[in-house]
Structure 1
């Protein structure tokens, strides 16, 4: 196959990747695009039919329209537009990547849809201030960690903490940490590194946005089964639930009383989920029962909404929230 013919086939494929069911392209349009966009002159219309057939034989999901005169379109893209939308929204909110990295990811995602699909995202806002403070090298760090896990190598880095002046400083005078990395976990718009140090067998976690000077070590990583246990995936998942997501404690039955209303109903439903049970009281108020993990997060939620919901039970949770509210009140009374 001549070089020019090979290029034409590739260009036809690229043009097909910009189409979808509502924006097909026929042979005449393809020939015109090959001329104006790729400077391929004198292309025979009939050769386009052969190119399309060859691409179909190679497994590309190219479909001819019902009237045939409208041409063909790519029936299946790498991702559906709704999937691209979800990924773009996640990137836009991510705190751990910079604006430039977010813009690059956004452009890469848009290249995975049709020309019409791309125009459907014109309403999308540019990456927002959530990305502003991130370092440019976070993407490179993620790539390094993926390669370290693949090659079974340890990673080395320095860790930062916040001092009294609200500045990031190196922890332990710039000590270098050597970690057997077993998982990279996403939680609350941040990445967490889950692993074990050589000198003990307990899992630890580090926030990626607080890491600097991360590199892949030449040292071979210790297998997770040797450091963590015979079922490391389950053990790591349990550790994440208790130590990263802060879901500590047992599942408990929570009962609250509140004044029903649009805001109160929606906030409680979002927090408690679909299994919430509600009954109306004679005084016009409501009582709701649901299950939640007994955790610091639970106490914090009730403190945040203390003016809206009154805890009826369990008594232990009620007392803990009252104690925290009293402590907060005393601090505000202090001069």
Structure 2
């Protein structure tokens, strides 16, 4: 009886490697069962297939029944697996070994032929990867804490001028109320509340070390954020640029034509939009933060801040500081050019 049940499971595993273009006959299934030290006649395999079909598996016989059976519906379509695998491979917070292992598990969800195709069309060594293998333990521990609604404590690290990791604030231990995890701007973040404050904050998971789940309940999200805290957290994530936080503002921009895709890609299409002769004006609800200034600076003359004045002034200060940084070098370069002897003088 045990062999009969095991054989049924092995038949299912074998059929998971099939698709409409790569079916298997009962004789071929029997050959593969032999690899597991299981034997079965064709009639027994046919009975197993009928049992699996009754259990809801979409197993079909080819129109030309000499070609055999195949599993018509897999858990994921091939294009869905491709998207998931690309996301895993490009995730900077995962080590190369973890990325390969997860990608292999995803490929195993499709037929053998499609798994080989996915492996062939997915480069895996083209992204900068973390060397921190503890990230998966950190994710697991935070999910446990969120599920149990318990506070956590950890230390936070950054890279110093010697390009080495060091603990921030002399090894200070952060007591945190964890609420959510999000992947944004190529990094994984914890969305939480630092225990001594009453607002939300971001912490990068790859910088968290010495994480401990505390035997203390988290602050109630409704008490901290108000009604519908899930919506408040979603809005917080959506309005924080480059995961820098600040006061929410109504930002008015004048953008050159040609910036439409960039605006929609980063802020979505649900905002006020008005065409003008000198460009298009848009109103966006965002946080006034360093991240917003970074975003504005990278687009230079293509985007102009109309309001509020505080953002405009901060942007001008940053641009002036950048210009000043190069102005002395430019003057020195001009002096060198002016004092350089010409070739006639050298002769």
- Between the aligned partners of 1:12 and 1:226, the Cα distance in structure 2 is 53
> Residue in 2 aligned with 1:124?
122
Counting matched residue pairs gives 317
Deviation at 1:135, TM superposition (A): 0.4
> Please, which runs of 5 or more residues in structure 2 have no aligned partner?
330-347
> Residue in 2 aligned with 1:329?
323
- Between the aligned partners of 1:252 and 1:178, the Cα distance in structure 2 is 33
Superposed CA RMSD in Å reads 3.0
The yes-or-no answer on 1:271 pairing with 2:262 is: yes
Deviation at 1:47, TM superposition (A): 0.8
- Between the aligned partners of 1:110 and 1:30, the Cα distance in structure 2 is 21
TM-score (ref. length: structure 1): 0.82
Greater alpha carbon shift after TM alignment, 221-230 vs 18-27: 221-230
Structure 2 residue aligned with 1:99, among 93, 96, 101?
Answer: 96
Greater alpha carbon shift after TM alignment, 2-11 vs 286-295: 286-295
- Between the aligned partners of 2:92 and 2:304, the Cα distance in structure 1 is 34
Q: Deviations over 1:78-124 (max 9, x none)?
A: 21111111111111111211111111111111111111110111121
Deviation at 1:228, TM superposition (A): 3.3
Greater alpha carbon shift after TM alignment, 243-252 vs 170-179: 243-252
- Between the aligned partners of 1:107 and 1:187, the Cα distance in structure 2 is 24
Deviation at 1:176, TM superposition (A): 2.2
Deviation at 1:40, TM superposition (A): 2.3
Query: Match of 2:65, SS?
Result: coil
Native 8 Å contact 1:256 1:311 kept in 2: yes
> Residue in 1 aligned with 2:345?
none
Residues 291 and 66 from structure 1, CA distance in 2 versus in 1: closer, same or farther, beyond 3 angstroms?
Answer: farther
> Residue in 2 aligned with 1:228?
225
Query: Match of 1:24, SS?
Result: coil
Structure 2 residue aligned with 1:60, among 42, 57, 60?
Answer: 57
Q: Deviations over 1:266-320 (max 9, x none)?
A: xx343033978878x8xxxx8455554565555544533436x374966957776
Greater alpha carbon shift after TM alignment, 170-179 vs 158-167: 158-167
> Residue in 2 aligned with 1:201?
198
> Please, which runs of 5 or more residues in structure 1 have no aligned partner?
259-264
Residues 199 and 313 from structure 1, CA distance in 2 versus in 1: closer, same or farther, beyond 3 angstroms?
Answer: closer
Query: Match of 1:126, SS?
Result: coil
The yes-or-no answer on 1:212 pairing with 2:214 is: no
> Residue in 1 aligned with 2:334?
none
Query: Match of 1:213, SS?
Result: strand
- Between the aligned partners of 2:47 and 2:85, the Cα distance in structure 1 is 37
Native 8 Å contact 2:252 2:305 kept in 1: no
Native 8 Å contact 2:62 2:70 kept in 1: yes
Deviation at 1:140, TM superposition (A): 1.2
Query: Match of 1:100, SS?
Result: helix
- Between the aligned partners of 1:289 and 1:111, the Cα distance in structure 2 is 49
Query: Match of 2:319, SS?
Result: helix
> Residue in 1 aligned with 2:344?
none
TM-score (ref. length: structure 2): 0.79
Residues 256 and 219 from structure 1, CA distance in 2 versus in 1: closer, same or farther, beyond 3 angstroms?
Answer: closer
Query: Match of 2:66, SS?
Result: coil
> Residue in 2 aligned with 1:261?
none
Native 8 Å contact 2:155 2:209 kept in 1: yes
Residues 214 and 128 from structure 1, CA distance in 2 versus in 1: closer, same or farther, beyond 3 angstroms?
Answer: farther
- Between the aligned partners of 1:155 and 1:39, the Cα distance in structure 2 is 49
Residues 150 and 117 from structure 1, CA distance in 2 versus in 1: closer, same or farther, beyond 3 angstroms?
Answer: same
- Between the aligned partners of 1:94 and 1:249, the Cα distance in structure 2 is 29
